Amino acid sequence: MVEQDKDNTPPHTGARHAFHQADEAEKQQSRVIALKTEILLGPILSFVVGALVIGAFLAYIGSGLGTIILGALIAGVVMAITTIALGGV
């Protein structure tokens, strides 16, 4: 029969607990990296999408190059700020 500690835990529980903690820490680290990537890429991608969509629309209706560039920049900034605000950053 296996002896148990005073607190009623089986022997060698400490090693399993340490392994579990290390495994959890590794999972948390990968989640943090994913979250940082999402926080960085979200606004950048929304800026690009907003700029391309509005720029393409302004080019389609025959606006000048300056108007296309300015409109695309404004739309990109608005999209990025909206993404940041809705993302809760």
Q: Which residue has the tokens 């739309």?
A: 75
Torsion of the alpha carbons at 32, 88, 39 and 25, rounded to the nearest 10: 0
Q: Mind listing the pLDDT tens digit for each residue in 54-64?
A: 999 999 999 89
Quote the pTM value: 0.59
Amino acid at 25: A
Contact, 51 vs 75, CB < 8 A? yes
Q: Mind listing the pLDDT tens digit for each residue in 22-48?
A: 667 677 777 777 777 778 888 899 999
